[in-house]
Structure 1
Amino acid sequence: MAEKRVIAVVGATGSQGGGLARAILADAGGGFAVRALTRHPDSDTARELTALGAEVVKADIG
């Protein structure tokens, strides 16, 4: 199987970014991996994304 391409999702613990990250993660055959960018990588939401298979990274672009 080919290596998955990475999609970075800014604001992945918020409503819009979180929905996008979860949709990508739910598509197992889609060929994409999620790199979730968030200011709070230790939050419950970030931990949920990690459990779903996302790579969670601390990033504050504000």
Structure 2
Amino acid sequence: GSIMDVDTGAIRLAFSGQVAPNAVPTTLVMDRQGRVAARISGILSDPELLASIIEDTLSEEVSP
């Protein structure tokens, strides 16, 4: 899921004092077993990076 708060910044302010300022937003890539395969803190400026991480995650074999 994704939360967009471009107009007001209210979501970023809600995390003030709770997490580092560069940690919001955080993008998580989950593997097929529902585990966090990658975490990107801050604004993701290169969509190719995310696409590459997703492709790598999808190509991993699922362990029993």
Q: Same fold (TM over 0.5)?
A: no
Larger Rg: 2
Report which structure shows greater RCO (CA 8 Å, sep ≥6): 1
Which protein has the bigger strand share? 1
